Amino acid sequence: MIAKRRLRLGLLSLAAAAGGVVLIMILLQAFSRPALRWRVDLSSGGTAALSDRTAEALAALPEGSEAVAFLFQEERRLEENGSAVYATAFGRLRTLLEDARIRSRGRLGVTVVGVRSSPVEQQAQLQRSRRQPLETLILTTPGGGRRALRFHELFVTSDPTPEGMPARILQERVDTALGDAALRLANQTAPRAGIVGGYGQPAESELMGLLQLLHGEGIDPVSIRGPASDKDFDLLVVVGQQRQFLETDAQAARAWVNAGRPLFLVLGPRAPQAVVDFWNGILEPDHGLRFGAGVVCDARPQAKVYEGTNLVASLELTAAQFATQHPATAHLAESTRLQGVIFCRPIELAGGGVDFARTALASSGARAWADLDQDFAVGPQERRGRQILAASAERWEAADPALSGRVVAYGSPEGLIRYLPLARDFIAPLFRWLLRIETPMGLVAVESLPFRPARAEQIRMTNIAVIAMPGLPLMIALLVFLRRRR
């Protein structure tokens, strides 16, 4: 009788315990639902979580979308001299992807593949996502949409120095890149840039860097023979035009600009005068932009760049040389990253209608000059002074935002061909501004907290942490023990 009662009560307590387990599991399952979760970002600068814009873009993705992060250390330079670039970057990526998973409201599955993942898992993910070298984050949708983001599209890093300084993360743009990729995948459309290629412009192979940059910014480049092309595009891009347009293309270009559609025009010092005059004729009356003459040069004796050598045509731009008020350059005006501009024709702000706002986006130093005779030294006809390297114009007010007359004039085709890496952070936001991808560049300064104590300090800290601090409780233990024995 007693044994039976004990068994019954034993089973009852087991059932009650199981009930408790089930109840807690149900509660946890309910609280894990993204809709019921809130997150507080305590990190300094509030950069541990994704922005609301990116979270909304992720929540708009089709159900079953996936983000696969490949955390592989592929660039040796980012590991040299004990660099923490990969450790910091991968930590940030893990945090932001977990945030993305939660805030996408279950629409985005996140998989992280690292060197510690099993080889089978690595191989399966590599094949499934068709990963190319250097691709760090790949977003896919069930409909076949795919966006791949390379490491340098997510993080801006410095290089290690021969003096032994390691590479550092200067800035990151994971949030914006993820948001853009999600928007693009959700809409299944991307703005298209029509790149004119029929008038002596650089070949497509030479523009590969620019095409990759556009892809990275979520813009589809479209090759067109001229502005009169019947292909559909949202932005007209003319880089290094060497011959005059045929009449149909000339008319189309004029009509395009007069309609207020966006134009990115890059004419260098080698552009024929007739081409320069044609575009000045279109841009000067209303937009108030014109291409000047010569090559912008600036000597930098402290860097051993002296007048008389063609090195003066390669310019180094610091934060102070960018427009602080313009959305495309404001981030650079606050950054410490130098930009490089090579062999640039000066731009002038001249004339123009009162309904257009004009901005000198980037300028040279105050001792620069526009070299007219190609001797790379200041001549009698050449006056020193700040030269404009790139300028923009847009209407103050426009009924249709897409027709607000946004134009960027830039004087260095070389800067978009061979030397694009020197000015990448300057060029990319210009395209975004022209296409009204209004969010800022999304560069977030990554706070690096270097701490290199002297050897003596390090030894003192170790002694305190390993001997003094543990010694105190051990002493208390001994005292307590002796006292209790007594």
- CB of 261 within 8 A of CB of 327? no
Q: Which stretch binds other proteins (CB under 8 A): 184-192, 196-204, 255-263, 451-459?
A: 451-459
Q: What angle do CA 422, 424, 430 make, to 5 degrees?
A: 135
Q: Does 13 bind other proteins (CB under 8 A)?
A: yes
Q: Does 52 bind other proteins (CB under 8 A)?
A: no
Q: Does 477 bind other proteins (CB under 8 A)?
A: yes
CA dihedral 441, 445, 446, 449 (to 10 degrees): 170
Q: Which residue do the tokens 């001549």 mark? A: 379
Whichever of 112 and 313 has its CB closer to other proteins, that residue is: 112
Distance CA 111, CA 125 (A): 9
Q: How far is the CB of 175 from other proteins (least distance, A)?
A: 13
Tokens of 147: 């966006």
Q: Which of residues 271-310 bind other proteins (CB under 8 A)?
A: none
142, 143, 421, 471: residue in contact with other proteins (rule CB under 8 A): 471
Q: How far is the CB of 432 from other proteins (least distance, A)?
A: 28
Q: Does 163 bind other proteins (CB under 8 A)?
A: no
Q: How far is the CB of 93 from other proteins (least distance, A)?
A: 9
Please count the residues of this chain forming the interface with other proteins, following the rule CB under 8 A. 71
**Amino acid occupying residue 212:** Q
Q: Does 484 bind other proteins (CB under 8 A)?
A: yes
Q: Which of residues 98-117 bind other proteins (CB under 8 A)?
A: 98-99, 102, 109, 111, 117
Q: Which of residues 166-225 bind other proteins (CB under 8 A)?
A: 166, 168
83, 171, 335, 363: residue in contact with other proteins (rule CB under 8 A): 83
Q: How far is the CB of 331 from other proteins (least distance, A)?
A: 22
Distance CA 218, CA 205 (A): 20
Q: Does 162 bind other proteins (CB under 8 A)?
A: no
Q: Does 21 bind other proteins (CB under 8 A)?
A: yes
Q: Does 373 bind other proteins (CB under 8 A)?
A: no
Whichever of 66 and 348 has its CB closer to other proteins, that residue is: 66
Query: 258: part of which helix (H) or strand (E)?
Result: helix 247-258
Binding mask 393-432 for other proteins (x = CB under 8 A): ----------------------------------------
Strands (E), 276-406: 289-291, 295-297, 314-317, 339-342, 347-349, 356-363, 369-371, 388-395
Distance CA 205, CA 225 (A): 16
| Other beta carbons less than 10 A from residue 384's beta carbon | 13
Q: Which stretch binds other proteins (CB under 8 A): 88-96, 172-180, 234-242, 265-273?
A: 88-96
**Amino acid occupying residue 145:** G
Q: Which stretch binds other proteins (CB under 8 A): 127-135, 249-257, 320-328, 459-467?
A: 459-467
Distance CA 43, CA 85 (A): 19
4, 29, 303, 320: residue in contact with other proteins (rule CB under 8 A): 29
Q: Does 48 bind other proteins (CB under 8 A)?
A: yes
The residues with which 264 forms a beta bridge, in sequence order, are 237, 408
Q: Does 464 bind other proteins (CB under 8 A)?
A: yes
- CB of 356 within 8 A of CB of 380? no
Q: How far is the CB of 409 from other proteins (least distance, A)?
A: 41
Q: How far is the CB of 89 from other proteins (least distance, A)?
A: 11
Query: What is the full DSSP assignment across 269-297?
Result: TTS-HHHHHHHHHHHHHHT-EEE-SSEEE
Q: How far is the CB of 50 from other proteins (least distance, A)?
A: 10
Q: Does 466 bind other proteins (CB under 8 A)?
A: yes
1, 31, 163, 383: residue in contact with other proteins (rule CB under 8 A): 31
Q: How far is the CB of 239 from other proteins (least distance, A)?
A: 39
Q: Does 146 bind other proteins (CB under 8 A)?
A: no
Q: Which residue do the tokens 């507080």 mark? A: 40
Whichever of 46 and 401 has its CB closer to other proteins, that residue is: 46
Q: How far is the CB of 461 from other proteins (least distance, A)?
A: 6
The residues with which 444 forms a beta bridge, in sequence order, are 172
Distance CA 449, CA 430 (A): 31
82, 119, 301, 380: residue in contact with other proteins (rule CB under 8 A): 82
Q: Does 28 bind other proteins (CB under 8 A)?
A: yes
- CB of 57 within 8 A of CB of 72? no
- CB of 407 within 8 A of CB of 283? yes
Tokens of 70: 């490949």
12 phi/psi in degrees, rounded to 5: -65, -45
Distance CA 92, CA 49 (A): 10
Distance CA 377, CA 380 (A): 10
Q: Does 37 bind other proteins (CB under 8 A)?
A: yes
Closest residue by Cα to residue 210 from 167, 264, 263: 264
Whichever of 172 and 298 has its CB closer to other proteins, that residue is: 172
Q: Does 24 bind other proteins (CB under 8 A)?
A: yes
